[in-house]
Structure 1
Amino acid sequence: MSPTLIMDFNRTVSRPLPQLGLMENEVGETHLLGWNLPAEDLIHIPEHWLKYQEPSALQHYYLAFMYTLFTFIALFGNGLVIWIFCIAKPLRTPSNIFVINLALCDFVMMAKAPIFIYSSINRGYQGHFLCQLFGVAGAFSGLGASATNAAIAYDRFRYK
């Protein structure tokens, strides 16, 4: 095969390919992650992440929309489970305590979503405190949900 028949796709495009996921400002420049952070907050971000380009505003707004939708559905569903458990005395069994604990963990997990939604709409970091609050709430509710799922599995295995 002659070298002229081998296509080099990087050189045969007649126009530049669109850069999906890049954010352009009013001047048409693209930014790397962390471009809008104060210098004192940059120490909290691993250098690895500062090499990537920032997602587009459209992607930020799409995430905010999806998380808003998920938040309302999850808060309504878990709130309904907690409310029904509180008003119905026959449901207050030891096994159902695990289900309520799982609903509480999921409720906390989605109660922290407004921090993420706010950050997505404003396309950036909202301060060290909110970042830490988001992480701590996610860690505790995630670990709590995992432990509760393990307890539910053990409870069902043991008593069946």
Structure 2
Amino acid sequence: MKSVTGTMSAVESSDDFIRAPTDAEGFLAAARTMLEGARVLASASQVPAIALSHLCGHAAESALKAMLSQVGVPTIELSKPALGHKLTNLWARAVAEGISLPKSQDAWFERLHRVHATPYTLRYPLGLHAIVLPDSATMLRGVEELISKAAACVQ
């Protein structure tokens, strides 16, 4: 059997426990993690555009859900088909809840929605000859801005 080695970080706190994150904080953490992966892919010499778009879609979805959760939309509602993976519906709901987003989405966001939501073209490109994706650099900048807005909303 191979031995496993690694490092652990110790956290010092005057409290007896560390509180669990709120759902909004959890969604924001997911968005940030997906963004980290997207940045790595975007810096590759040959950008894997489908993988990059998949991570950006998940990051955008998580950022919007973070904002919606922060203003009181129950997590169970965020998982229902009306919102779920539908980026444009999540955006519209955020605007309706008073979150500071433009009423209309940019072209990159609408394109990302079309490949991120059902039938989940990025995950299961069945029977397709091609997938039209958003411009990678524009999409990455847009997702970074969306996550910044989510971070300001949640914290």
TM-score normalised by the chain length of structure 1: 0.32
Higher relative contact order (CA 8 A, sep 6+): 2
Greater share of helix: 1
Larger Rg: 1
Q: TM-score, normalised by structure 2?
A: 0.33
